[in-house]
C-alpha cells in the first residue's frame, strides 16, 4: 500500500480486505452487501454498517478524509482506476488487443506485464475477493505473457525465451499452451532432443494427473520433431477459430426468437452473407440469446466462429472497425506483420479469407451501422449482430433481419427466478413472485440479479425482497453486482444515456419527470418546451436506442426500470427552476387538453372561473365522445398524478382546475378512487393557498365524489366548507352547484324537506344568474326530494321540466336520467303504464350511450313496476341486470338490489330516486 509515495502497512486483515474491495471498484459505489462479503465472507457481524463505518474511519485517517466517500447504500473510493495496478493492468490488456501494429502491441503488453508483481491479492486476507478476482487476473496475465512471447520471436534470444518458459511451466505445469511454446523455442534454437524430452515429460504428467494425451497441436509438433524437421518447427498453427463465449447456464425462455433464428438460418441463401440483428434495451438478454443460439448451430459452420464484443454501449472505449478486423484476421491465420494498415484493405482481406468459408460471425454490442459494415464478410457467412440500437441502416441497405427482443412474460420470469431460488420457494410465495417480476419489469438481467439476491439471503422471504425493491430510490442499487459493471443495471443504462446527443439526453431527463405510463408526442413537446416536430425527432432518437419503447406512432413508454433511471437523472441533473418550468408547461398543456375534451363531454364544467393560460403546443383535435374517452383512458395515470404534483408544489389553481375538469370523466368511467384522490388533493391545496374560489370548486368536487359513493356525512362536511367559502366571497359561478349537491347530501340522509329547500334555492339562484346549464340539475334534485316526501305529482312535474331543459341543452345522458325520475314518480303515483313507458325510453338512451351507472336506478324502477303489476319473472330479470352492473362498478346500491331479489315475489316498498350530484 502506497500513499503520497510512502509505503503504508495495514496491520488488520479486514482493513486490507476493505481497501482492496474499494480499490477494485475505484471510482464506483460499492454496496454494503458487497463490502461485507469482501471483508467477512459468508459470516458477517450482526451490525455490518457499524463495523464498516469503523474500518472506513480508520482508512480515512491513513489516506485522507475525502478518500472514501459515503453514499446512499455503500462507499466509494475517490481514486482513478488507473491508479489501481490490477485495473490498469486489465485496461492495458484490452488496449493491446485493439492495437493493430505488432510493435505497438508489444509495447503496451510490456507496460501491462510490468505491473505484475507476483500472485494477485496476496496478503489481502479475503477468500471472497481471491475467489472473484485471482482466477481472471491470472488467466489474463498468462494469455498476455504468451502473446508477448509470440511477438518477441525474432526480437529476443531464444535462450532467454526458453529460460522464461521453463520457469512458467514449472509454475503452471498443466497449461499446454506454455509447453507448446517451450517445445517450439527449443526446436527453433537447435535443441531437438531437449524438445522431445520436454514433450515426453508433459505426456507423463498429463497421463498421471488427468489421464489424457497432449492436445492436437503438441502432437503435431512432436511428429515434426520425430520426422527430423524439428529445426524448422513452426509456431503453433492457428486452428479453426472457436471464439464463442461459453453458453449460458440454465438458459430460459425465448422460444419464439430461437425459432425465428432457426427459420432465418434455414431460408438463407448459401452463396450470400445473411445478417440477423437482435436488438433491445439494456439487460433484455440479447447477448445470452445470440450466444446460446450460436452454440446450438455451431456444427453447421465448419469454418468456425468469430466473436467480438464491440463495446458499443459499455464502460470501455468502443472497438474500432480496424481493431476488430485486425483481431479477426489474426484469428484466421494472418500473421500480425501481414495485417494491412487501412480499414479498407483489412476489410478486403477478411472478405477474401472468409469467402465460401461457411463461418458464423457474432458481433456483440454494436454501437451503430458504421461500426458493423466494415466487418461484414463475403459469401457463405452468417452474421449475428446484437445492439441496443435498431441499426435501421443495416436493415434498409444490407437487408438485415431485425429480431426485436422484449421483456419476459410471467411464465419465463418465474422460470428464471426458479433457477436461482428453487421451484419450492417460488411455489410457497406466488404473490411475491408476481410482484418481484413486476418490480423488475420482467427484464432478464434484473430478474437474475433479484434471484441472486434472494438466494444469497435465503433467510429473507421473497416478500421481504419485494418490500425492499418497492422503494424506487434504492431499486437500482439493489439490482446490481457492484463488482461487475456488466451486471450493474444503472451502469448499463448510463452507457446508452451517455451516448446520446445533448438535446436527446435533456429530453430523456425531462421525461423522467412525467408520472404516466405512456407519453404522447405533444406531451413530450410541452414538457421539453420544443415544437412537436422537434420532439418527434428527439423521441425517435431515444426509441432507436431502446431508451424508450414506441407502441404506436405518437405514443412512447419507458421500461419500468428505465423510468426509475430517468427519474434519477432528472433529480440529479435538472435544476429546480428547470424542473418547475417543465412541470408547469406540461400541467398547462394537460389543463388545456382536458378543457378541449370537456367541450364534447361536460361543457357545463367550463365555467367563467376556469380561465386557462394559452399553450404553445397544440392540444388534441377531438372529434367526438369516443376519442375523448380513449385519450382520457390513456392519460389517466398521468392526469391523476399531476393533480398531486401541482398540489405538492403549491400550485393550487392548477391543482383544483385540473381536478375539477377531470370529474366528468371520473363520473362517467366510474373511477371513484381517482376522483377521491384528486379532489382531496385539490381541497388541501386550495386551503393551503387561502384560495376561496379554488376552495369552492375543490370542496364541491370532493362533495360530489362522496355523493357518488353515498357517503352523505362526508359529503355534507366538504360541501359546507365550499358553501362557507362561497358566502365569504359573495358567491360565484359554482354557488348553484354547491346548493344542488347539498340537496343530494340531505336526500341521502333521508332529510327530504331540507333536500327540497336547498334544491329549490339552487333553481332560483341559477335562474337569477342566468346559469341555464345548472337549472335542470337542480330541478332533478327537487324531483328526487319530492319523491322522498311521497309527493309524486310534484316529483313528476319537476322531473319532466328537467328532461325538457336537458334536451334543449343537448345533454342526452341527464335527459335520460330525468326520464327515469319521471318514471319513478309516476310509479309511486300508481300510474304504472306511464311509468313503464318513461323508464323504457330512458333505458334505450342509456344503452345507446353505454351509460351503465345511470341504468341502475332505471332498472330498479322497472323491476318495481313489473313486480307491482304481477310480473315477478320480468322484475327479477331487471334486478338481476342491475345487480350485475352494480357489482361490476362497485356500486353501493347492490345490497338494496339483493334485498329486492330476495323478497320476490312480494312487492316491497319503493326504493326512491337517487340524488344527482
CA distances from 146 to 30, 96, 98, 154, 241 (A): 34, 13, 17, 15, 18
Which residue's entry shows cell 439471503? 457
Please write the tens of the pLDDT for every residue from 578-625. Answer: 999 999 999 999 999 999 999 988 888 888 888 788 899 999 999 888
Q: For residues 817 and 220, which has the higher predicted lDDT (pLDDT)?
A: 817
Cβ(130)–Cβ(17) below 8 Å: no
Residue 528 has pLDDT above 90, yes or no: yes
pLDDT for 8? 56
Which residue's entry shows cell 440477423? 276
Please tell me the distance from the alpha carbon of residue 572 to that of residue 386, in angstroms, as a whole number.
31
Please tell me the distance from the alpha carbon of residue 546 to that of residue 406, in angstroms, as a whole number.
11
Share of the chain above pLDDT 90, in %: 32
Cβ(635)–Cβ(516) below 8 Å: yes
Please tell me the distance from the alpha carbon of residue 516 to that of residue 505, in angstroms, as a whole number.
19
Please tell me the distance from the alpha carbon of residue 315 to that of residue 366, in angstroms, as a whole number.
13
Cβ(589)–Cβ(471) below 8 Å: no
Between 29-43, 75-89, 704-718, 885-899, the lowest mean confidence (pLDDT) is in: 29-43
Residue 389 has pLDDT above 50, yes or no: yes
Cβ(773)–Cβ(606) below 8 Å: no
Q: What is the pTM of this model?
A: 0.65
Residue 149 has pLDDT above 80, yes or no: yes
Within 10 A of 741 (CB to CB), how many other CB atoms are there? Answer: 33
Burial of 575 (0-12, 13-18, 19+ CB in 10 A): exposed
User: Which grid coordinates are listed for 179?
Assistant: 509447453
Using omega within 30 degrees of 0 as the cis cutoff, is the peptide bond preceding 513 cis?
A: no
pLDDT for 905? 64
- b/e burial code for range 844-859 (CB count within 10 A of at least 16 → b): ebbeeeeebbbbbbbb
Please write the tens of the pLDDT for every residue from 641-674. Answer: 999 999 999 999 999 999 999 999 998 888 899 9
User: Which grid coordinates are listed for 836?
Assistant: 313503464
Which residue's entry shows cell 410541452? 526
CA distances from 835 to 409, 478, 838 (A): 54, 65, 5
CA distances from 26 to 69, 384, 404, 409, 530 (A): 11, 34, 35, 37, 40
Burial of 888 (0-12, 13-18, 19+ CB in 10 A): exposed
Please tell me the distance from the alpha carbon of residue 517 to that of residue 884, in angstroms, as a whole number.
31
Q: For residues 504 and 212, which has the higher predicted lDDT (pLDDT)?
A: 504
SS3 402: strand
Please write the tens of the pLDDT for every residue from 304-359. Answer: 889 988 888 876 678 888 888 888 888 887 777 778 878 888 888 888 888 777 88
pLDDT for 481? 66
Residue 832 has pLDDT above 50, yes or no: yes
Please write the tens of the pLDDT for every residue from 745-782. Answer: 999 999 999 999 999 999 999 898 888 888 998 999 99
Going by pLDDT thresholds of 50, 70 and 90, the confidence category of residue 235 is: low
**CA-atom Rg of the chain in angstroms:** 38
Torsion of CA 19, 24, 25, 31, to 10 degrees: -50
Which neighbouring-strand residues pair with 402?
277
Residue 10 has pLDDT above 90, yes or no: no
Q: For residues 824 and 231, which has the higher predicted lDDT (pLDDT)?
A: 824
pLDDT for 21? 85
Average pLDDT over residues 856-863: 92
Strands (E), 733-795: none
SS3 383: strand
Which residue's entry shows cell 485495473? 87
DSSP one-letter code for 315: S
User: Which grid coordinates are listed for 608?
Assistant: 367563467
Please tell me the distance from the alpha carbon of residue 2 to that of residue 584, in angstroms, as a whole number.
53
Average pLDDT over residues 888-909: 78
Mean pLDDT of the chain: 85
DSSP one-letter code for 380: T
- Give the residue among 354, 312, 297, 313 at the shortest CA–CA distance from 331: 354
> Left (φ > 0), alpha (ψ -120 to 50) or beta: where does 544 sit?
alpha
Average pLDDT over residues 810-821: 91
Going by pLDDT thresholds of 50, 70 and 90, the confidence category of residue 913 is: very low
Going by pLDDT thresholds of 50, 70 and 90, the confidence category of residue 915 is: very low
Please tell me the distance from the alpha carbon of residue 908 to that of residue 527, in angstroms, as a whole number.
58
pLDDT for 533? 93
Reduced 3-state DSSP string for 786-815: HHHCCCHHHHHHHHHHHHHHHHHHCCHHHH
Share of the chain above pLDDT 70, in %: 93
Average pLDDT over residues 898-911: 67
pLDDT for 578? 93
Please tell me the distance from the alpha carbon of residue 738 to that of residue 766, in angstroms, as a whole number.
11
SS3 500: coil
pLDDT for 545? 86
Residue-range domains of the chain with CATH: 154-232 (1.25.40.10), 255-404 (3.40.50.300), 410-479 (no CATH), 480-573 (1.10.10.10), 575-730 (no CATH), 862-908 (no CATH)
Instruction: Calculate the CA 489 to chain-centre distance.
Output: 11
Please tell me the distance from the alpha carbon of residue 900 to that of residue 906, in angstroms, as a whole number.
9
Please write the tens of the pLDDT for every residue from 257-294. Answer: 989 988 888 877 665 678 999 998 888 888 889 998 98
Cβ(685)–Cβ(652) below 8 Å: yes
- Give the residue among 137, 134, 161, 139 at the shortest CA–CA distance from 150: 161
CA distances from 725 to 66, 590, 659, 695, 699 (A): 57, 27, 18, 7, 9
Q: Helix %, strand %, coil % for the chain, to 5?
A: 65, 5, 30
Amino acid at each position: 500500500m502506497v500513499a503520497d509515495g510512502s509505503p503504508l502497512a495495514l496491520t488488520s486483515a479486514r482493513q486490507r480486505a476493505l481497501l482492496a474491495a474499494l480499490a477494485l471498484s475505484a471510482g464506483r459505489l460499492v454496496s454494503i452487501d458487497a463490502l461485507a462479503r469482501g471483508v467477512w465472507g459468508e459470516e458477517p457481524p450482526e451490525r455490518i454498517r457499524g463495523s464498516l463505518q469503523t474500518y472506513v474511519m480508520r482508512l480515512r485517517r491513513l489516506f485522507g478524509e475525502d478518500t472514501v466517500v459515503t453514499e446512499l447504500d455503500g462507499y466509494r473510493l475517490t481514486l482513478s482506476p488507473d491508479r489501481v495496478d490490477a485495473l490498469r493492468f486489465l485496461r492495458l490488456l484490452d488496449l493491446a488487443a485493439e492495437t493493430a501494429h505488432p510493435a505497438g502491441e508489444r509495447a503496451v503488453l510490456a507496460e501491462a506485464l510490468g505491473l505484475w508483481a507476483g500472485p494477485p491479492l496476496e496478503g489481502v486476507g479475503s477468500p471472497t475477493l481471491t475467489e472473484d478476482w485471482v482466477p481472471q487476473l491470472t488467466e489474463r496475465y498468462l494469455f498476455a505473457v504468451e502473446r508477448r512471447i509470440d511477438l518477441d520471436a525474432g526480437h529476443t534470444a531464444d535462450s532467454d525465451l526458453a529460460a522464461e518458459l521453463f520457469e512458467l511451466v514449472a509454475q503452471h505445469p498443466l497449461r499446454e499452451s506454455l509447453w507448446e511454446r517451450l517445445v517450439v523455442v527449443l526446436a527453433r534454437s537447435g535443441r531437438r532432443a531437449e524438445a522431445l524430452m520436454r514433450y515426453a515429460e508433459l505426456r507423463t504428467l498429463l497421463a498421471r494427473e488427468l489421464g489424457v494425451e497432449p492436445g492436437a497441436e503438441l502432437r503435431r509438433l512432436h511428429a515434426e520433431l520425430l520426422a527430423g524437421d524439428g529445426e524448422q518447427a513452426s509456431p503453433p498453427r492457428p486452428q479453426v477459430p472457436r471464439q464463442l463465449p461459453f453458453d449460458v447456464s440454465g438458459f430460459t425462455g425465448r422460444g419464439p426468437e430461437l425459432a425465428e433464428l432457426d427459420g432465418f438460418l434455414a431460408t438463407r441463401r448459401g452463396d450470400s452473407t445473411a445478417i440477423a440483428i437482435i436488438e433491445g434495451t439494456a439487460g433484455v438478454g440479447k447477448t445470452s440469446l445470440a450466444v446460446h443460439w450460436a452454440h446450438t448451430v455451431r456444427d453447421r459452420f465448419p469454418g468456425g466462429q468469430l466473436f467480438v464484443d464491440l463495446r458499443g454501449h459499455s464502460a470501455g472505449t468502443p472497438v474500432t472497425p480496424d481493431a476488430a478486423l485486425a483481431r479477426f484476421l489474426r484469428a484466421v491465420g494472418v500473421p500480425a506483420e501481414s495485417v494491412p494498415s487501412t480499414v479498407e484493405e483489412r476489410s478486403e482481406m477478411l472478405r477474401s479469407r472468409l469467402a465460401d468459408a461457411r463461418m458464423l460471425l457474432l458481433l456483440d454490442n454494436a454501437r451503430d451501422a458504421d461500426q458493423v459494415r466494415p466487418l461484414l464478410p463475403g459469401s457463405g457467412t452468417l452474421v449475428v449482430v446484437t445492439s441496443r440500437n435498431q441499426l435501421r441502416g443495416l436493415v434498409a441497405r444490407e437487408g438485415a433481419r431485425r429480431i426485436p427482443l422484449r421483456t419476459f412474460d410471467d411464465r419465463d420470469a418465474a422460470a428464471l427466478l426458479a433457477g436461482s431460488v428453487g421451484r419450492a420457494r417460488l411455489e410457497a410465495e406466488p404473490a411475491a413472485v408476481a410482484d418481484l417480476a413486476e418490480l423488475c419489469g420482467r427484464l432478464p438481467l434484473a430478474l437474475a440479479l433479484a434471484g441472486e439476491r434472494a438466494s444469497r439471503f435465503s433467510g429473507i422471504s421473497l416478500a421481504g425482497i419485494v418490500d425492499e425493491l418497492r422503494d424506487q430510490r434504492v431499486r437500482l442499487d439493489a439490482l446490481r453486482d457492484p463488482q461487475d459493471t456488466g451486471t450493474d443495471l444503472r451502469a448499463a443504462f448510463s452507457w446508452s444515456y451517455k451516448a446520446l446527443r445533448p438535446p436527446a439526453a435533456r429530453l430523456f431527463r425531462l421525461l423522467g419527470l412525467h408520472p404516466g405510463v405512456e407519453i404522447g408526442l405533444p406531451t413530450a413537446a410541452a414538457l421539453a418546451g420544443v415544437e412537436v416536430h422537434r420532439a418527434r425527432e428527439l423521441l425517435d432518437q431515444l426509441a432507436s436506442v431502446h431508451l424508450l419503447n414506441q407502441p404506436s406512432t405518437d405514443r412512447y413508454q419507458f421500461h419500468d426500470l428505465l423510468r426509475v433511471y430517468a427519474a434519477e437523472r432528472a433529480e440529479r441533473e435538472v435544476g429546480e427552476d428547470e424542473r418547475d418550468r417543465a412541470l408547469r408547461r406540461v400541467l398547462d398543456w394537460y389543463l388545456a387538453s382536458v378543457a378541449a375534451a370537456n367541450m364534447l363531454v361536460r361543457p357545463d364544467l367550463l365555467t367563467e372561473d376556469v380561465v386557462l393560460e394559452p399553450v404553445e403546443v397544440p392540444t388534441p383535435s377531438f372529434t367526438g365522445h369516443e376519442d375523448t374517452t380513449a385519450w382520457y383512458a390513456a392519460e389517466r395515470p398521468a392526469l391523476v398524478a399531476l393533480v398531486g404534483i401541482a398540489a405538492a408544489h403549491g400550485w393550487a389553481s392548477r391543482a383544483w382546475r385540473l381536478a375539477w375538469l377531470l370529474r366528468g370523466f371520473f363520473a362517467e368511467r366510474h373511477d371513484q378512487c381517482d376522483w377521491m384522490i384528486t379532489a382531496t388533493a385539490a381541497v388541501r391545496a386550495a386551503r393551503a393557498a387561502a384560495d376561496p374560489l379554488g376552495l369552492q370548486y375543490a370542496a364541491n368536487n370532493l362533495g360530489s365524489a362522496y355523493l357518488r359513493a353515498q357517503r352523505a356525512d362526508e359529503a355534507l362536511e366538504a360541501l359546507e366548507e365550499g358553501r362557507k367559502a362561497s358566502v365569504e366571497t359573495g358567491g360565484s359561478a359554482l354557488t348553484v352547484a354547491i346548493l344542488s349537491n347539498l340537496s343530494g347530501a340531505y336526500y341521502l340522509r333521508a332529510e327530504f324537506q331540507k333536500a327540497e329547500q336547498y334544491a329549490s334555492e339552487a333553481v332560483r339562484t341559477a335562474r337569477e344568474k342566468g346559469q341555464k346549464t345548472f337549472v335542470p340539475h337542480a330541478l332533478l334534485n327537487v324531483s328526487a326530494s319530492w319523491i322522498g316526501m311521497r309527493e309524486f305529482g310534484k316529483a313528476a312535474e319537476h322531473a319532466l321540466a328537467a328532461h325538457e331543459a336537458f334536451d334543449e341543452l343537448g345533454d342526452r345522458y341527464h335527459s335520460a336520467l330525468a326520464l327515469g325520475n319521471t318514471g319513478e314518480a309516476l310509479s309511486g303515483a300508481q300510474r304504472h303504464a306511464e311509468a313503464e313507458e318513461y323508464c323504457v325510453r330512458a333505458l334505450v338512451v342509456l344503452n345507446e350511450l353505454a351509460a351503465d351507472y345511470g341504468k341502475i336506478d332505471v332498472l330498479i324502477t322497472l323491476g318495481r313496476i313489473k313486480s307491482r303489476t304481477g310480473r315477478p319473472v320480468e322484475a327479477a330479470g331487471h334486478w338481476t341486470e342491475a345487480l350485475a352492473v352494480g357489482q361490476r362498478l362497485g356500486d353501493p346500491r347492490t345490497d338494496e338490489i339483493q334485498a329486492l331479489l330476495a323478497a320476490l315475489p312480494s312487492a316491497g316498498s319503493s326504493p326512491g330516486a337517487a340524488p344527482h350530484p
